[in-house]
């Protein structure tokens, strides 16, 4: 993370450069499972009867993808995206807690936890509130992802 920090700071400014680096690091490690999910969804939907029917009627490959496969593959991808947002919040908080995230002058939940760890015996609420904020944010995003999964499930009977 610190390798390109000065270059990005000089190119984009102090806050934006570090923000871009953190987003690239977290996003760079989180895109592969979603890509595998999209690939598996496309391969699974390619063999379904409605795609076979469109192919039999002479629909081009692009039309099959845009009109039949893509709308049916979006549900699981959106759900995986919401779950990955929660994982990214935890990853950023972890990096900031370890001192590898944003600089100390930019407050993040992980940095607030790091600053509060020395005062746990006299002021435990300093660690309680950022930890509770991380917990509630991740829990809320996971509930949203679960609700989206239930709403976008094609096997669900109305």
The per-residue pLDDT for range 1-52, each reduced to its tens digit, is 566 667 767 777 766 777 777 888 888 888 888 889 889 999 998 899 999 9
Q: How far is CA 70 from the centre of its chain?
A: 20
**Can you tell me the mean pLDDT for 74-100?**
89
Full-model pTM: 0.77
Distance between CA atoms of 68 and 50, rounded to whole angstroms? 8
Q: Rg of the chain over CA atoms, in angstroms?
A: 21
Q: How far is the CA of 157 from the CAs of 44, 69, 74, 113, 152, in angstroms?
A: 20, 20, 19, 45, 11
């Amino acid at each position: 993370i610190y390798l390109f920090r000065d270059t990005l700071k000089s190119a984009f400014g102090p806050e934006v450069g570090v923000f871009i680096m953190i987003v690239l690091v977290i996003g760079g490690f989180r895109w592969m499972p979603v890509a595998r999910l999209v690939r598996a969804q496309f391969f699974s939907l390619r063999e379904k009867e409605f795609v076979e029917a469109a192919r039999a009627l002479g629909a081009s490959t692009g039309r099959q993808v845009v009109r039949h496969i893509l709308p049916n593959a979006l549900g699981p991808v959106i759900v995986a995206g919401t779950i990955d947002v929660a994982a990214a919040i935890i990853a950023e908080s972890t990096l900031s807690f370890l001192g590898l995230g944003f600089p100390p002058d930019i407050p993040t939940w992980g940095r607030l936890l790091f600053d509060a760890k020395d005062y746990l015996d006299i002021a435990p609420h300093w660690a309680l509130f950022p930890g509770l904020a991380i917990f509630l944010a991740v829990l809320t995003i996971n509930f949203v992802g679960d609700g989206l999964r239930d709403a976008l499930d094609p096997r669900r009977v109305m």
